[in-house]
Amino acid sequence: MLDLAKYQSIGAALKDALGQFAGEICLIEADREREKERLRYREFQDRADPWARALQEAGFNANDRAAMIMTNQSKWLISAYAIFYCGGVLVPLDYKLTPEEQWQLLKHSSASVLVTEYPIWRQLTASPSRASATNLKTILVTEAPPRADLSGARRWEEFSSSGEPAFIPRQRKDVATIVYSSGTGGRPKGCMMTHENYLEQCVALTSIYPFAPGVRYLSILPTNHAIDFMVGFFGPFICGAAVVHLRTLRPEYVREAFPKYKITYVSLVPLVLKNLQKGLQARFDALPSAKRKLFNALVAVNKALTKSRPRLALSRRLLKQVHQAFGGELRAIIVGGAFTEPQTLQFFYDLGIPVANGYGLTEAGTAVTVNDLKPFRADTVGKPLPGMDVRILSPAADGVGEVSVRSKTVMSGYLNESELTAETIVNGWLMTGDLGRFDSTGHLQLFGRKKNMIVTEEGKNIYPEDVEAAFESLPVKESCIFAANYVWPQRTMVGEQLLLVLHLEQGQTLTDELRRDISARNNRLLNYKRVHGLVLFTEDFPRTASLKIKRNILAGRLAQQDRAAAILPL
Amino acid sequence: MRTIDQTTREVLTLASTHFKVPADSLAPDDDFFKKLDINSLQALELLSRLENHFGIELPDYEVQGVSDFRTLASRIQSRL
Is B60 close to A249, i.e. CB distance below 8 A?
yes
| Nearest CB to A523 within list B31, B45, B60 | B31
Nearest neighbour of B41 by CB, restricted to A120, A275, A523: A275
Using CA atoms, how far residue B20 sits from A80, A288, A394, A484, B69, in Å, is 45, 25, 51, 31, 16
Query: What's the pLDDT at A186?
Result: 59
- How many inter-chain contacts (A to B, CB under 8 Å) are there? 49
**B44/A272 Cβ within 8 A:** no
Distance, CA of B8 to CA of B16 (rounded, Å): 12
Is the Cα torsion angle A432, A436, A437, A438 positive or negative in sign? Answer: negative
**Of B41, B57, B59, which is closest to A251 when you measure between CB atoms?**
B41
pTM score:
0.87
Q: Cβ contacts (< 8 Å) between B29 and chain A: which residues? A: none
Consecutive H or E run containing A438: strand A429-438
Pairing of β A425-426 and β A25-31:
unpaired
- Whether A119 sits inside 8 A of B57 (CB atoms) is no
Instruction: Categorize the per-residue pLDDT at A183 as very low, low, confident or very high, splitting at 50, 70 and 90.
Output: low
Domain formed by A384-450, architecture: Roll (2.30)
Q: Of the candidates A290, A112, A90, A278, which has an alpha carbon nearest to the alpha carbon of residue A197? A: A90
Among the listed ranges A266-280, A308-322, A394-408, which one has the minimum average pLDDT value?
A266-280
- Whether the per-residue pLDDT at A132 is higher than 90: the answer is no
- Packing angle, helices A10-20 and A74-85, rounded to 10: 120
The alpha carbon of residue A395 is apart from the nearest alpha carbon of chain B, in Å, by 37
Quickly count: other Cβ atoms within 10 Å of residue A551's Cβ. 18
**Long-range contact set of residues A299-305: C-beta below 8 Å, sequence gap at least 24:** A299/A350, A299/A351, A302/A350, A302/A351, A302/A352, A303/A350
* Per-residue model confidence (pLDDT) at position A441: 94
- For chain A, which residues make up each domain, given as ranges? 4-266, 384-450, 462-569
Task: Give the residue among A159, A72, A69, A150 at the shortest CA–CA distance from A116.
Answer: A69
What CATH topology corresponds to A4-266?
Rossmann fold (3.40.50)
Class at the top of the CATH hierarchy for domain A462-569: alpha beta
Question: Mean pLDDT over all residues of chain A?
Answer: 93
Provide the 3-class DSSP secondary structure of residue A478. strand
- The structural domains of chain B, ordered by start, are 4-77 (1.10.1200.10)
A337/A347 Cα distance (integer angstroms)? 19
Element (DSSP H or E) covering residue A20: helix A10-20
Per-residue pLDDT band at A185 (split at 50, 70, 90): low
CA-CA distances (angstroms) from residue A98 to A114, A171, A362, A519? 16, 34, 21, 19
Which pLDDT score is estimated for A431? 95
Question: At residue A458, does pLDDT exceed 80?
Answer: no
Give B 42-71 residues with CB within 8 A of chain A.
Answer: 44-45, 47-48, 57, 59-62, 64-65, 67
Q: Kindly state whether A117 is in contact with chain B, defined as any CB-CB distance less than 8 angstroms.
A: yes
The beta-carbon neighbor of A527 closest among B44, B47, B67 is B67
- Residue of chain A whose Cα is closest to the Cα of B58: A248
* Residue A521 to chain B, least CA–CA distance (Å): 12
Q: Averaged over B33-47, what is the pLDDT?
A: 85
First to last CA, chain B: 8
Beta strand pairing call for A189-194 and A175-182: antiparallel
Cα A337 from Cα A456, distance rounded (Å): 8
Residues of B in contact with A252 (CB under 8 A): 48
What letter would DSSP give residue A189? Answer: E
Which one of A123, A275, A458, A518 would you mutate to disrupt binding with B, by most B Cβ within 10 Å of its Cβ? A275
- B61/A252 touch (CB, cutoff 8 Å), yes or no: no
Q: Which of A160, A180, A178, A172 is nearest to A94 (CA)?
A: A180
Other Cβ atoms closer than 10 A to A254? 20
- Grouping H, G, I as helix, E, B as strand and the rest as coil, residue A487 is helix
Please tell me the distance from the alpha carbon of residue B63 to that of residue A141, in angstroms, as a whole number.
Answer: 19
Residue of A nearest to B44 (CA): A250
* Parallel/antiparallel/unpaired status of strands A113-117 and A89-92: unpaired
pLDDT value at A493 more than 80: no
* ipTM above 0.85 for this complex: no
Within 8 A by CB and 6+ apart from A392, the residues are A399, A400, A401, A402, A403, A404, A436, A437, A438
Most confident range, picked from A213-227, A537-551, B28-42 = A213-227
